[in-house]
Amino acid sequence: MKLIEGRAWVFGDDVNTDVMAPGLYFKSPMAEMARHCLEAIDPSFAANVRPGDVVVAGRNFGVGSAREQAAMALNHLGVGAVLAVSFGRIFYRNALNFGLPALVFPAAGTVVAGDRLRVDPVAGRIENTRSGAVHAVNGIPAHLMAMVEAGGLMPWLKLRLRKENA
């Protein structure tokens, strides 16, 4: 399983799926929707997030509608993982189903925007390389992380079916 390393983008509580995937762009290609991801909270996010960067948030990240495009937009932008004190239930499921690691991180409030994080999603180890702090969280089970690394549920199922029919 790969290690995720990147800069922290820090958000607060109750970040709604509507700000991750604004309804105005639903009929647009994902690339266009992703360009507007989180712009209502941080207009610089989509233009400046880099592959492997980590979104860190407070309570109830992904609250709101069941729009799967919220997780898809973050994934399209290359976000390596989402760490939050808690998640909206459907967002959490959508994140994993679309290949975006999501970990419950009670110590999210200790991370400062711009910190460099190293995340081992299976071991449940989060290291802040700026502060030196290391946190243990519940990891993503290896079999589920294999699905995430395959790109999510549908790509994983296609791989599995190919292997079974080979």
Sequence length of the chain is 166
Cα(140)–Cα(143) distance, integer angstroms: 8
- Per DSSP, the residues of 18-39 read HHHS-GGGTTS-HHHHHTTTTT
Digit-coded pLDDT (tens) for 91-104: 999 999 999 999 99
Predicted structure pTM score: 0.94
Say what the pLDDT of residue 165 is.
87
- Domain that residue 72 falls in: 4-165
Digit-coded pLDDT (tens) for 133-165: 999 999 999 999 999 999 998 999 898 888 888
CATH number (domain holding residue 124): 3.20.19.10
**Beta strand 134-136 pairing with 125-128:** antiparallel
Report how many domains make up the chain: 1
Q: What are the E-state strand segments in 27-136?
A: 54-57, 81-84, 102-104, 116-120, 125-128, 134-136
